[in-house]
Each structure stands twice: as C-alpha cells, then as structure tokens.
Amino acid sequence: MNKKLRSQDWFGKKGKDGFIYRAWMKNQGIPADEFKGKPIIGICNTWSELTPCNAHFRELAESVKRGIIEAGGFPLEFPVMSLGETLIKPTAMLYRNLVSMDVEESIRANPLDGVVLMCGCDKTTPALVMGACSVNIPTLVVSGGAMLTGKYQGRSIGTSDIWRFSESLRSGIMTEEELNLAEAGMCRSRGHCAVVGTASSMACMVEALGLSLPENAAIPAVDANRKVLAQLSGRRIVDMVREDLKPADILTRQAFENAIKVNAAIGGSTNFVIHLLAIAGRVGVPLQLDDFDRLAVDIPLLANLQPSGQYFMDDLYDAGGLPAVMREMLDALHGACITVNGKTLAENIQKATALNKSVIASFAEPFKKNAGFAVLRGNLCEAGALIKPAAANPLLMQHTGKAVVFENIEDYKQRIDDDDLPVDATSVLVLKNVGPKGYPGMPEVGNMGLPKKILAQGVTDMVRISDGRMSGTGFGTVVLHVSPETAANGTLALVRDGDLIQLDVAARQLNLLVDADELDRRRALLSDPVNTFSRGYNRLFVTHVEQAHLGMDFDFLKGSSGSEVLRDSH
Ligand code: FES
C-alpha cells in the first residue's frame, strides 16, 4: 500500500487537531496503536427494529468486524436511516434518496478508508450503494439474506401469496381465520422476503455487479454461512483499501449490462430498473431505459423462483446460488469484469454448478424463452413504461379495452368494489397520480386488486396501467412506471372513462386511441404542475425528483463529489 490513508488526515495529525480526533475516540477504550496507520473501515449499518428484514444486522456486523480485525484493519460501525418496506408510510421509496444522502455525507465526513454496506430490505441496498458511489472509496456490500420459506397448511408460501390471499379473501374463498394462520406462518425467521422480490433482486444485483463476494445473494439469513461470508467480507475490504479498488473501478458499463441480464434470468423485480438507473447516474455510466429491454431480450428465465416461478431463495441457495445461474449464462455475460475480491466474474463462477434442474435451468432448456422486461412506447407513455411479461398473462399481451379511470389511490379504494362500477373483464384499469411527484414517492400500488364482481366471475388478471410501481413480489398484466407521470401532465393525465387503450407488448406499444385534436383539447384544460408542499423533505422531493425512466434520483445528486473534505474547522 503506497497511498496515504485518508483516515490519517484525522488520526495521523499532531498537536491539538490530532489530540481532538483521537482523544474522544479513546473514550470507547481504544488503544493508541489502532490509530497508527491501520485502514479504518466503516460498517454502514441499516439495523433497525423498525426494519424487521434487517433486525439481525448488529449480530452480522460483529462477523464483519472480526474479519476486519483479522486482516489488520480497525472497524467502526455507524448507523444510517433504515427503510423498512412494511412499516414506513407513505412509501419507503420516498426516502431512498434521503438515505443515500445520509450515507454519502456520513462516509465523506468521517475518517474512513473503506466501507462495508449492510443491506437488506428493498430500498436499503440501492440507497447505500448510491451514497457510497458518490464518495467512491473502497466499498463492499454484505446483504442480510432471505428468510426461510413460509409455510401454510403444509405448503410453501412467500410474499407473493399475500396478493393471492387478499383476492381469495375478497372473493370469499378464504376466511379471516385462515388468513391469520397464513400470517403466522409467513415470516419464519430473520431475513428479507423469501421470493425474488426487490430485496433479493437487489442482493443479486450487487453480486452481478461485482460489489459483493460470490454467494452473497442467496445464502439464507439464518445459515451459518451468512456469517462466514460477512467475516470474509470484513477481511477482504481491508485488502481492497490496500489495493485501492473502488466502486468506479468495478461499476463499468459492462458490469451494468451483466446486472441487467442476470436480473432477467432470475425473473427479478421491476424496481430493479429504477434503482440501477439511479446507481448508474451516480457513477456516470450512461444507461437508458431501453437498455433493459434491448440487452435482455434474448435472456431466458433460468431460475424457477417466485413470483415468476415456483421456488424460493433458500431453494436457489441449495441449487447452487447465483454463481450457478451466472455460470449457465456465462456466454451472455462480460466475464472479464473485475469484482470486489479482485477476481473477474468468470473466475468467480468457474466452478459453480447447477445442482437442481427444477430450480436452475440450462441456457439451452430454460423455464421460459424470454424473461426480461418489455419497455413500452406510444402516446400514453412518451418517455416509456414497463411490463414484466414473465409475470403477466400471455393472453393479455395484445389487448384493447375501455379505460376505467381512478384519479388517485383513495378514489380506487373507494370505488373498486362498487356494484355500479362500469367494468368488465376486458376493461383496462387506469390509476393516476401515483408517480414520483404525484403521490409523492411512487408507491407500489400498480398491481391493484381486481374488482370484486370480476373476481366473482373467476377472472384472475386484467390489464392495469399506472404511473406507480409494483412490489417485486407482485405479478399480473401490469403496466408500470408510465412516464411522464400524471402529475407532470403526461398523457396519462388525459385518460377518461371509456377511452380505448391498446396494449401490444410484442410491438412494444401502449396507446390511447383518442384522436390528436381531442387530446389537445384535453391538454389545454390542464393546469401547470405545482408543488403543493410548502416546506420540509416533501418540498425538496417534489422539486427535485426525476421521472421514473431516469431512475427517480434527485437532479442535484447525480454524479460523485469524491472523498475529499474541502474544509477543516479544527
Ligand atoms: Fe423487507 Fe420484503 S419487506 S424485503
């Protein structure tokens, strides 16, 4: 290691400044030699009892610390705001960018030479990666791992079943008592959701990008190997500091292309698109919405995991984990990409084997031929919209139907089960004002439940369109992320009850079949968007958040400010 450690700008100082930097740290009982040139590694922890998926992170951090100490580093754990998907109102996505700012400023402002990011529940991964990328010191991700598969009446269940249970309850197939039993069996252990929802998609994303050690994505939270991985990660981050291996060295355009392809092969979350775009924006890699369609169009579904398939994350681990999936698709990946352990992706997965063909398929005989996202264009979504065909009904991939419009989520909740709602199975449900600015925060409500009277006919899917997101655990013929959103006066704002909407996934088209003159007339009636929040974080958010097709970052957060601290007040 030739480069001077940045932490020495604090602890290496003499006189009054060095005294202040060191003396107060010594109140924690730290011997003087810890400050003499050891790499100082921050452990950025999203532990919180309000984030149940990350509630085991203090214990996991102890394993990381052990590894750091073994390798000759000095660990310092610090908290950042945590985002629990299930508890936070109005939606955790509102705060992803806020957490990224917390992370970025906490890393830069403190005497850290490297950082381990403790990531779990959905937004904690992108938020921490975004923040760390904007500082660009050596960084390694340790994910918390998925929980054990849920059980109900002798069968496996996961988060995706919540949507099924909810429809069953509304249509009278399931009783409240049975729902309570399912609730008791859903979350059997520590860890995040057991399906390939957003949290597991994010854990796979960091492994595919090369930001974690191999195997990080799929080791269950309760498996002792999760702690082993944490300890090895602690050892490795110290070496990364010595080698000066930083996120910008790892996160090349090729690494992003790998992540896009891997997300398709596992049937990953649609939220992946928004988060990866935001991360790319932080490291300055040009990435477009269309890349998610174009690059993955020939990638088949290789992992048979819910919500696109049958199994759960612990099944993936038993079947060989993400390395085995990537091994099957190596010819489609950039194997030369460097990863945090200093080896290439190809080297890391060289010996991986798929151990269970019902969970991991070969590239030649996949579970589905095409697994990626379709990026739609048309007059209803000039800047794009997204659909996940693998989780949708093939019979609805080409569909024209009359719009049933809900002006906002409250309107939807109030009227969806009205007997008088003018809806039939061919209708297209349209939900407005759930976009980045309109809600604000773009909640996961796009896979809105079907009207009771349609469910009673035995119908289980309809075309649904919104400017919102969908839980990574959700499914259905759901068009999401319509951009520009209603609140930015996108064409979605012009849709009225009874208008014909045409979806053609093969042609990548989504159109409102209303003539242009009429649309102009309607557009002239719209007023200019206004920020209705007079103060606080919501005002900042609505003023600066970008549209979904750009990744929903704040316009002023793009790029990196580096790790240099410009002023020193001592
Ligand atoms: Fe945390 Fe699903 S609620 S990962």
Determine if ligand 1 sits within 6 Å of the CB of residue 197.
yes
Question: Which amino acid, 178?
Answer: E
85 lines ligand 1 (CB under 6 A): yes
Shortest-distance atom of ligand 1 to CA 472: 2
Atom of ligand 1 nearest to the CA of 51: 1
Closest atom of ligand 1 to CA, residue 192: 4
Give me ligand 1 centre to Cα 53, in Å.
6
Please report where in the chains the tokens 């998610």 appear, as a residue. Answer: 292
- 3-state SS, one letter per residue, for 262-274: HHHHCCCCCHHHH
- Report how far residue 432's alpha carbon sits from residue 485's, in angstroms, rounded to the nearest whole number: 8
Angle at 73 between CA 70 and CA 76, to 5 degrees: 110
Helix (H) / strand (E) element for 234: namely helix 224-243
- Closest residue by Cα to atom 1, ligand 1, is 121
pLDDT, tens digit (0-9, with 9 covering 90-100), for 386-420: 999 888 899 999 999 999 999 999 999 999 999 99
pLDDT score for 2: 62
Res 432 pLDDT > 80:
yes
Domains annotated for the chain, with CATH where assigned, are 374-524 (3.50.30.80)
pLDDT at 185 over 90: yes
pLDDT at 5 over 70: yes
Q: Which atom of ligand 1 is nearest to the CA of 200?
A: 4
Choice from 85, 118, 196 to test ligand 1 binding pocket (greatest atom count within 8 A of CB): 85
State the pTM of this model.
0.97
Reported as a single tens digit per residue, the pLDDT across 201-217 is: 999 999 999 999 999 99
Residue 199 Cα, ligand 1 centroid: separation in angstroms? 6
Q: Which ligand 1 atom minimizes the distance to the CA of 52?
A: 1
Sign of CA dihedral 396, 397, 398, 402: positive
Protein residue closest via CA to atom 2 of ligand 1: 193
Q: Is the CB of 53 under 6 A from ligand 1?
A: yes
pLDDT in tens, 32-91: 999 999 999 999 999 999 999 999 999 999 999 999 999 999 999 999 999 999 999 999
pLDDT at 356: 98
Q: CB–CB of 254/334 below 8 Å?
A: yes
The per-residue pLDDT for 171 is: 82
pLDDT score recorded for residue 514 = 98
What is the band of 307 on the pLDDT scale with cuts at 50, 70, 90? confident
444 lines ligand 1 (CB under 6 A): no
- Residue in 427, 442, 445 with CA at minimum distance from that of residue 498: 427
199 lines ligand 1 (CB under 6 A): yes
| pLDDT reported for residue 569 | 77
CB of 186 sitting under 6 A from ligand 1: no
**pLDDT at residue 1 tops 70:** no
The residues, any chain, with a CB within 8 Å of residue 355's CB and separated by 6 or more, are 318, 319, 320, 324
pLDDT at 160: 86
Query: How far does the centroid of ligand 1 lie from the alpha carbon of residue 441, in Å?
Result: 17
- Which DSSP string do the residues of 328-393 spell out, in sequence order? HTGGGS-TT-B-TTSSBHHHHHTT-----TTTB--SSS-SBS--SPEEEBSTT-TTEEEE-GGGS-
pLDDT tens, position by position, 521-553: 999 999 999 999 999 999 999 999 999 999 999
Q: Is 55 in the pocket of ligand 1 (CB under 6 A)?
A: no
Between CA 528 and CA 362 the distance in angstroms is 52
Task: Indicate whether residue 203 lines ligand 1 (CB < 6 A).
Answer: no
SS3 109: helix
Identify whether the C-beta of residue 300 lies closer than 8 Å to the C-beta of residue 371: yes
Whether a cis peptide bond, with omega within 30° of 0, leads into 39 is no
Question: Which residue carries 């999760």 as its tokens?
Answer: 226
Q: What is the distance in A from the centroid of ligand 1 to the CA of 89?
A: 14
- DSSP class of residue 306 equals T
**How does DSSP assign 118-179, residue by residue?**
EE-STTHHHHHHHHHHTT-S-EEEEE--BPPPEEETTEEE-THHHHHHHHHHHTTSS-HHHH
Confidence at residue 164, expressed as pLDDT on a 0 to 100 scale: 87
Q: Are 394 and 362 in contact (CB under 8 A)?
A: no
Check: CB of residue 267 under 8 Å from CB of residue 390.
yes
Given the structure tokens 């957060």, which residue do they identify?
Answer: 557
Average pLDDT over residues 95-100: 98
192 lines ligand 1 (CB under 6 A): yes
Q: How confident is the model at residue 568 (pLDDT cuts 50, 70, 90)?
A: confident
Residue 287, pLDDT above cutoff 60: yes
423 lines ligand 1 (CB under 6 A): no
Instruction: Compute CA distances 386 → 278, 333, 477, whole Å.
Output: 16, 23, 11
**Closest to 473 measured CA to CA, from 178, 147, 172, 127:** 147
- How do strand 155-157 and strand 150-152 relate by DSSP bridges? antiparallel
Place of tokens 């240099």: 564
121 lines ligand 1 (CB under 6 A): yes
pLDDT at residue 170, rounded to an integer: 84
Which of 82, 96, 122, 188 for a ligand 1 pocket mutation test, highest count of atoms within 8 Å of Cβ?
122
pLDDT number for residue 471:
87
Q: How many residues does this entry show for the chain?
A: 570
Residue 263 pLDDT more than 90? yes
Using the mean position of ligand 1's atoms as its centre, give its distance from the Cα of residue 536 in Å: 27
Does the pLDDT at position 95 exceed 60?
Answer: yes
Is the pLDDT score of 239 beyond 70? yes
CA dihedral 176, 178, 181, 183 (to 10 degrees): -60
Give the span between the Cα atoms of 185 and 187, in whole angstroms.
Answer: 6
**Ligand 1 atom having least distance to the Cα of 159:** 2
Nearest CA to ligand 1 atom 3: 85
Q: Is 193 in the pocket of ligand 1 (CB under 6 A)?
A: yes
Q: What are phi and psi of 523, to 5 degrees?
A: -65, -40
Does 563 have pLDDT greater than 70? yes
Question: What's the one-letter identity of residue 40?
Answer: I
Q: Could you tell me the distance, in angstroms and rounded to a whole number, from the CA of residue 369 to the centre of ligand 1?
A: 29
Which is the closest atom of ligand 1 to the Cα of 54?
1
Ligand 1 centroid to Cα of residue 26, in Å, is 38
**pLDDT grade for 155, boundaries at 50, 70 and 90:** very high
Radius of gyration of the chain (CA): 24
pLDDT in tens, 319-373: 999 999 999 999 999 999 999 999 999 999 999 999 999 999 999 999 999 888 9
Tell which atom from ligand 1 comes closest to the C-alpha of 85. 3
In the chain, % of residues over pLDDT 90: 93
Sign of CA dihedral 463, 552, 161, 85: negative
Q: Which of 53, 118, 473 to mutate to test the pocket of ligand 1 (most atoms within 8 A of CB)?
A: 53
